[in-house]
Structure 1
Amino acid sequence: MRTILLSIKPKYSKLIFDGSKKFEFRKIIAKKAVDKIIVYSSSPDKVIIGEVYVTGIVSMKKKNLWEFTKQYAGITEDEFFSYFDKNEVGHAYKLGKVEKYKNPKQLKDLGVEKAPQSFIYLDL
């Protein structure tokens, strides 16, 4: 199973675990297939709050991506197009089953020194 660690803003990470955000948008996706995402809730939280299984990856022109994902995007249309402003194509991890940790973990618990700008592969 291939796992990555993603830094996600707290307002969006909460939406993943309450089930209202089923797509995680990225300008760049992992080159290797990803089965699971470990969610690092970035500042001010700065903790790993859980994990989510990836059921697929969607890559398409951003207008089409918005139409395909908007019901479970977890972000507004303005936020979406602002994020992908300089990109012709957008990517999204399609999120499946989630597991929120009872006790959040620190990066060092996974042997990681600092939060990734985009993502890092984990050997778990």
Structure 2
Amino acid sequence: MKVLLSIKPEYAEKIFEGTKRFEFRKSVYRSKDVKTVVVYVTRPVGQIIGEFDVDEILCETPDELWALTSDHSGISKDFFDEYFMGRERSFALAVGDVRRYDSPLNPSELIANFTPPQSYMYIDDELGRPSTAQLALAF
């Protein structure tokens, strides 16, 4: 199973360049079957550009999470602190193998009434290919 995540352009680029090895989230998906994140890059890009494998999900206090991830966070400490302000728990997806698609995909052409997910959107996956009808042609 895969999830579609909305990621800002500057952070998506860092993930695919290999300089950002953790994607931070205030909450994460509940399914333990998710192994891959499909990356929707937010406006002004507005396209799906690739995917990455999730090596593990870290759940810690913000201070502990920063101590574990800061060397490969791809973000500033100030941004991190502001993002997790007031939170007792914070999450990071450890980025594994990344795959940038040869051509970016327009999600509106693949998913009827596409609205970028605020958090995440599940995508069914069988044998490495999404079985979700709207995305079947994309992969």
Shorter-chain TM range is over 0.9
Matches within 5 A, 1:89-100: 89-100=89-100
Distance 1:22 1:110 in 2: 28
* Equivalent position of 1:23 in the other structure: 22
Q: Which runs of 5 or more residues in structure 1 are unaligned?
A: none
Cα root mean square deviation, aligned: 1.0
Runs of 4+ in 1 over 2 A off after TM superposition: 108-112
Distance 1:46 1:101 in 2: 15
Matches within 5 A, 1:33-52: 33=32, 34-52=34-52
Shift of 1:61: 0.5
Distance 2:24 2:101 in 1: 22
Shift of 1:88: 1.1
1:50-101 Cα distance to aligned partner (Å, 9 max, x none): 0000010000010000000001101000000100012111001111000011
Q: Number of aligned residue pairs: give it.
A: 123
Higher Rg of the two aligned structures? 2
Q: What secondary structure is seen at the aligned counterpart in 2 of 1:14? A: helix
Distance 1:29 1:51 in 2: 17
User: Could you state the TM-score of these two structures normalised by the residue count of structure 1?
Assistant: 0.95
Q: Which runs of 5 or more residues in structure 2 are unaligned?
A: 125-129, 131-139
Letter of the 2:17 partner, please give it: D
More relative contact order, 1 or 2 (CA 8 Å, 6+ apart) = 1
* Equivalent position of 1:120 in the other structure: 121
* Equivalent position of 1:68 in the other structure: 68
Distance 1:66 1:119 in 2: 23
